Amino acid sequence: MKVSDTIQMLESKESKKLMTALYGEDAVRENIERYQSLVRNFQTKFPGEDVVLFSSPGRTEISGNHTDHNHGKVLAGSINLDCVGAAAKNNSRKVNIISETYNQSFEIDLDDLDPSDKKAGTIDLVKGLLKGFLEAGYEIGGFDACITSNVISAAGVSSSASFEMLLCSILNTFFNKGAMDTVAYAHIGRFSENVYWDKASGLLDQMACAVGGLITIDFKDPAVPVVEKIDFDFGSKNHSLIIVNTGKGHADLSAEYSSVPAEMKKAAEFFGKEVCAEITEKDVIDHLQEVRDYAGDRSVLRALHFFEENKRVDAEVAALKEDRFEDFLMNITESGNSSWKWLQNCFTNTSYQEQGITIALALTELFLAEKKKGACRIHGGGFAGVIMTMLPNELVDEYISYIEKAMGEGNAYRMSIRPYGAICFNEIMNQL
């Protein structure tokens, strides 16, 4: 579709209906203008080309903190912050990407997809995605894209996975006739992070961004994860999900992040298994001293967290299905306590005087204790980044004012769960 037609299309009733689903009724106008600005920028950078629009959300992790990489269970959802792309095929062997958000522009030669020596940064990530497509037997080709994102960077809402899944949607639409599923997207995203970033990530972030809505995932067979959509709207319970950025990202904490799956796997290794999903909590407790000697105490604690967190995911899903919302909130609190005490990912031992996460949790717990309502927990990979709070709507403004006084203005985000994952905007709009 030509640029002028696309700008006009964004004012259509179908576009407004999709914008409402993605961002909420109050944010339709600002996002129409956001998309139109992106399209105009695309025309400036890549004149004369037709343009197609794409969107991929960030994600919130409700429960299942650090379980996916050991083939556990999660409860997660796509959020109303997203990565948006305006893109077109260019009939070349070059991929050109301009990031408005990060003021970055680069070109990748499809015939040179080797990672850099440092294995870090956006270029390596994109090369990894392109290589992942080829390794999985899919097609790639040259394209141009302008991208903007309001997903909080390096803060546990998966700005990188959002970006990855956006590019997967572009490549699927342009070169694979839309035949790929979201599981394929997720595996390619993980391949890129594992191989081109040396980051031992699982599939949670990519799956939650790609699938959309509120979902529970069982990764027992990671090649074919079992995904179930949960039909539940937090707004129906007059509650909102708040993400609080505590000030420091986790982009430089890959070693801390990678230690979690490694230590869980070390506990499983004692039993001749690869991951904790292949052993039981009883196995660990029955051989406690031997596992402690073999894997170390923190490994044991992290393994115990894994088993208990899996149970909590089941309990939360059941509570939502059975409309036991207070039980659901109680399990969020218990999940957060387990991450803090057993998983131990609220701060790093090397920088123990830097504890933005634990400060924010402590202040939030004081607030919740006074109000006798709500729940909170660490959010995402941990060690730095964000926390999550679930609150009745009547307390949200008061809480945001309270927590931003401590953590800085503009650091609290009121989220909603959006029903769509990584999409070609044009295709979904044409279905409405």
Q: What is the pLDDT of residue 152?
A: 76
Structure tokens at 181: 């599923």
Residue 2's identity, in one-letter code, is K
CATH 3.40.50.150, applies to 3-230+418-431: no
Dump the DSSP string for 28-43. Answer: HHHHHHHHHHHHHHHH
Span 234-415: which CATH code? 3.30.70.890
Residue 208's identity, in one-letter code, is A
Asked if 387 and 359 touch (Cβ cutoff 8 Å), the reply is no
Residue 239's identity, in one-letter code, is H
Q: What is the pLDDT of residue 204?
A: 84
Instruction: Give φ, ψ of 240 to 5 degrees.
Output: -125, 155
Asked if 52 and 10 touch (Cβ cutoff 8 Å), the reply is no
Q: What is the pLDDT of residue 155?
A: 56
Residue 215's identity, in one-letter code, is I
Nearest CA-CA partner of 306 in 348, 367, 354, 260: 260
Cα–Cα dist 225/181, whole Å: 12
Helical residues (DSSP H) of 217-295, grouped into ranges: 254-269, 281-286, 288-295
Residue 190's identity, in one-letter code, is R
Instruction: Give φ, ψ of 223 to 5 degrees.
Output: -70, -30
- Which of helix, strand or coil describes residue 274? coil
Cα–Cα dist 381/379, whole Å: 7
Residues 6+ apart with CB under 8 A from 385: 154, 155, 156, 245, 246, 248, 249, 250, 357, 379
Q: What is the pLDDT of residue 156?
A: 61
Q: What is the pLDDT of residue 154?
A: 57
Domain boundaries, the chain: 3-230+418-431, 234-415
Residue segments in the chain with a per-residue pLDDT below the cut of 70: 154-156, 248-251
Residue 138's CB: how many other CB atoms inside 10 A? 18
Question: Across-strand partners of 86?
Answer: 53, 146
Asked if 252 and 384 touch (Cβ cutoff 8 Å), the reply is no
